[in-house]
Structure 1
Amino acid sequence: MADLFADESPQQNRDEPREDAPLADKLRPRALDEVIGQEHLTGPEGAIGRMVAAGRLSSMILWGPPGTGKTSIARLLADAVGMRFISVSAVFSGVGDLKKAFAEAETAAKMGQRTLLFVDEIHRFNRAQQDGFLPFVERGTVTLVGATTENPSFALNAALLSRAQVLILHRLDARALDTLLARGEDLGGPLPLTAEARDALVASADGDGRFLLNQAETLYNAKIPEPLDPAALGKFLQRRVAVYDKDRDGHYNLISALHKSLRGSDPQAALYYMARMLTAGEEPLYVLRRLVRFASEDIGLADPQALVQCLAAKDAYEFLGSPEGELAIVQACLYLATAPKSNAAYAAQKAVWKSARETGSLSPPANILNAPTKLMKDIGYGAGYVYDHEADDGFSGADYWPEGMEPQEYYRPVERGFEREVAKRMEWWDKKRRERRGDE
């Protein structure tokens, strides 16, 4: 069976790719300053740039969408600081493979060679496998660089996260994608596209550089005799490709105009900008994603049906397809534009995320912790818990906040739509809490 590890020296990272290698491999950056779109990390003031300048790497988790350079950055990090590079894929590797990698790293360490262990899709390892990294990271046997497309807060163990810095990679914007495509054209020649079709190809990549280069390679391999326009490109690639103006601002300008028209409760303008996007060939599911987001960000509980309407529109469109399903998108757009507005849920999310980061790992009060074992009961878990349904008014008024943390107010409903009723309920509960505690 083939070795699951790619054990490479820094010099091997610079080897020329094979002549028949995919375009994305041929254009893989040879140095960190060639990585496109992640200058906030790789630049002189970025976390990676500073570590490389100091010649010492900390363990890190690279979190970002596909096609943004996670693997390339990991390889180049080892090259930049003269470390031995080992790559493991969580899709194909198990505990035995990791033990082999750690044993090799320990042997190398005795010879004065540091090892960078790159773990692709690290979130696919289970809890026990992730725990297996800890002693080797703590002893410095390896410097761990994990790559994930999933939120590390949910996908990785807290113990592992406490020993690694999470670095966020951005989706490649239009400028970065255009630069990447230009590099491809320097190697393969001009693409068989009109200027408008080239802009549309960049926009269709949706931030994924690898996807963009793969699409370009498909066009090169087809030996197309005449440049394709946007409509012909969409037909050739079997994708609906949006038509945008030459400066590539159209996509972002129109979605911004749609969002702000909805927020400003102008259904006529919102319909116009949405129609501009859809008739230009924008992917309807992209528009629906933006509408779903708007329903939570700008309406929330002022009208809880807004989110339901958007999700129903998504289902209807997927069921009917175009053009029949686009009427459901119109209905959702009109619903959002005419609904009462509130960003209280959005503001609450930002505030509570900040609070959660600042308070760290405070434990909930013992009275609301489950006590499935005798030991847990003996040390006070669950003691004094009041079951709300047994209270006369279905409300105990208990204190649910961690010890040492004052109750906070993150969510502040507005006096519009359904949130007016929510505010009344919260006011009633607050009054009852004060009564229970003897504050009134």
Structure 2
Amino acid sequence: MPDLFASAGGDAPRPLADRLRPTRLDEVVGQEHLTGEGGALTRLLRGRSLGSLIFWGPPGTGKTTVARLLAQGTDLHFEQISAIFSGVAELRKVFEAARGRRAAGRATLLFVDEIHRFNRAQLDAFLPVMEDGTITLVGATTENPSFELNAALLSRARVLVFRALDEAALAGLLHRAEAATGQPLPLDAEARAALVRMADGDGRAILTLAEEVWRSARDGEILDAALLQDLVQRRAPVYDKAQEGHYNLISALHKTIRGSDPDAALYYLCRMLDAGEDRLFIARRLVRAAVEDIGLADPQALAVANAAKEAFDFLGSPEGELALAQAAVYLATAPKSNALYTAYKAATRTAKEHGSLPPPRTILNAPTKLMRRLGYGEGYRYDHDEPDAFSGQDYWPERLGRQSFYRPGERGFERRVAERMAWWAEERARREADEG
């Protein structure tokens, strides 16, 4: 197949993503909420006046391109740096150059890629040059700016959210690539759909994958989905185990268990396993779900979750992952109750609010004569010697009085617990009445 990417005049080939880079805001795909009629970016360009911005979104969604277009549309000098490779010394040079341009009558749009990589001191260095108008900052981040950027910088910038490209936007990019090269992609319909899925919402990725297809296919060959996967391999999922994607998926797993959807729980579990998530991190969350969302509605849930962790420790990957899947399905299909979790929080709050109240002397041990003279242990009734092994004594600090934290539900094993507690309450009231 001829080289579709060679530049005219013998220059070095340009990547397809670079050749198809939009030259107007309305050519940016997948961000119509920002670039469409009435979108935030469209309004900014019409007003030809920019404030500092933070672009938050996944890779390949047009953040760098849009920053360039904003600079062109407002006649600002475009300067680009990456937080991965820049330190304070380089920042000072960039700021000094911007001051020189400002003195000459031209402002600077400074685009900072991966801005979340800067530490707090580096981020603070932007504040004075943002405030005095030396630069208009446009920062790009794939991570949640609420967590990764300091409040002082965020208060001086507007956050705009870029969305992962949907299938329609990615398919549109493929059509644009075919038009630019004059060659259809040698893919059948199923393979074409698979290529879109492989891109995982990343416009740059789908164009790179398309280049690989053109370079790999033999003349006249039409690739099916299986051959496509063999040729280009599968692009790794967009998932940073230390950042927001990690917490989003573990949260999704927990909520699908809580919501009794075993299929969704399996899906998110497999998403994390596929992305290389720490298996023991998943196991710990399964244990947490067992105690937080199932509790005594099914006392076996905790045993199953712990057993899955032990099985994974024993078997390792990949066999041990099936134990995690078994636990996820068991937890999702178990009866649910947060009564224990709620009771624990309420008891903790009461313990903190009321301080160091002494228990009643009735239930205090009396190892010395002095303590016995003071009444420690006096009147204590040993429950196993009482009818039905229940004394009904009041064990609460006198100044606090009896409290009620744990209220079992009507699901699973907790129904039996509720019946038992109701009998104890009735018996306690009867005996208190008899003694009164």
Fold-level similarity (TM above 0.5): yes
Q: 1:300 to 1:64 in 2, by over 3 A?
A: farther
- In structure 1, distance between residues paired with 2:19 and 2:10: 6
Which residue pairs with 1:337 in the alignment? 332
TM-score (normalised: structure 1): 0.62
- In structure 2, distance between residues paired with 1:212 and 1:165: 29
- In structure 2, distance between residues paired with 1:141 and 1:48: 22
- Show the 5 A alignment for 1:129-168: 129-168=122-161
Which residue pairs with 2:366 in the alignment? none
CA shift for structure 1 position 427? 3.3
- In structure 2, distance between residues paired with 1:90 and 1:199: 35
Which residue pairs with 1:301 in the alignment? 292
Which residue pairs with 1:35 in the alignment? 28
- In structure 2, distance between residues paired with 1:170 and 1:296: 33
Quick check: 2:17–2:207 contact (8 Å CA) kept in 1? yes
CA shift for structure 1 position 106? 1.6
Which residue pairs with 2:197 in the alignment? 203
**Amino acid paired to 1:95:** V
Quick check: 1:313–1:328 contact (8 Å CA) kept in 2? no
Which residue pairs with 1:227 in the alignment? 222
Which residue pairs with 1:216 in the alignment? 210
- Show the 5 A alignment for 1:335-374: 335-341=330-336
Q: Does 1:56 align with 2:49?
A: yes
- In structure 1, distance between residues paired with 2:312 and 2:69: 43
Q: 1:124 to 1:288 in 2, by over 3 A?
A: closer
| Gap regions ≥5 residues in structure 1 | 1-15, 242-257, 342-415
TM-score (normalised: structure 2): 0.63
Counterpart selection for 1:79 from 72, 84, 93: 72
Q: 1:325 to 1:229 in 2, by over 3 A?
A: farther
CA shift for structure 1 position 287? 12
CA shift for structure 1 position 328? 4.1
Q: Percent identity?
A: 48
CA shift for structure 1 position 431? 4.9
Aligned residues: 323
How far does the alpha carbon of each residue in 1:84-140 deviate from its partner, in whole angstroms, 9 at most, with x for none?
111112222222222222222222222221211111111222222211111111011
- In structure 1, distance between residues paired with 2:145 and 2:307: 28
Q: 1:319 to 1:190 in 2, by over 3 A?
A: farther
Secondary structure in structure 2 of the residue aligned to 1:108:
helix
Quick check: 1:234–1:240 contact (8 Å CA) kept in 2? no
How far does the alpha carbon of each residue in 1:383-403 deviate from its partner, in whole angstroms, 9 at most, with x for none?
xxxxxxxxxxxxxxxxxxxxx
- In structure 1, distance between residues paired with 2:134 and 2:400: 57
Quick check: 2:286–2:328 contact (8 Å CA) kept in 1? no
**Amino acid paired to 1:215:** L
- Show the 5 A alignment for 1:410-429: 416=337, 419-429=338-348
- Show the 5 A alignment for 1:169-208: 169-188=162-181, 189-208=183-202
Quick check: 1:313–1:329 contact (8 Å CA) kept in 2? no
How far does the alpha carbon of each residue in 1:35-74 deviate from its partner, in whole angstroms, 9 at most, with x for none?
1111112223222221111110010111111111111111
Secondary structure in structure 2 of the residue aligned to 1:320:
coil
Which residue pairs with 1:320 in the alignment? 317
Quick check: 1:60–1:146 contact (8 Å CA) kept in 2? yes
Which residue pairs with 1:255 in the alignment? none
> Larger C-alpha radius of gyration, 1 or 2?
2
- In structure 2, distance between residues paired with 1:152 and 1:194: 41
Which residue pairs with 1:350 in the alignment? none
Q: 1:311 to 1:231 in 2, by over 3 A?
A: farther
How far does the alpha carbon of each residue in 1:169-226 deviate from its partner, in whole angstroms, 9 at most, with x for none?
1111111111112211222321111101100110111111111111111111124331
| Gap regions ≥5 residues in structure 2 | 1-8, 237-252, 296-300, 356-398, 402-436
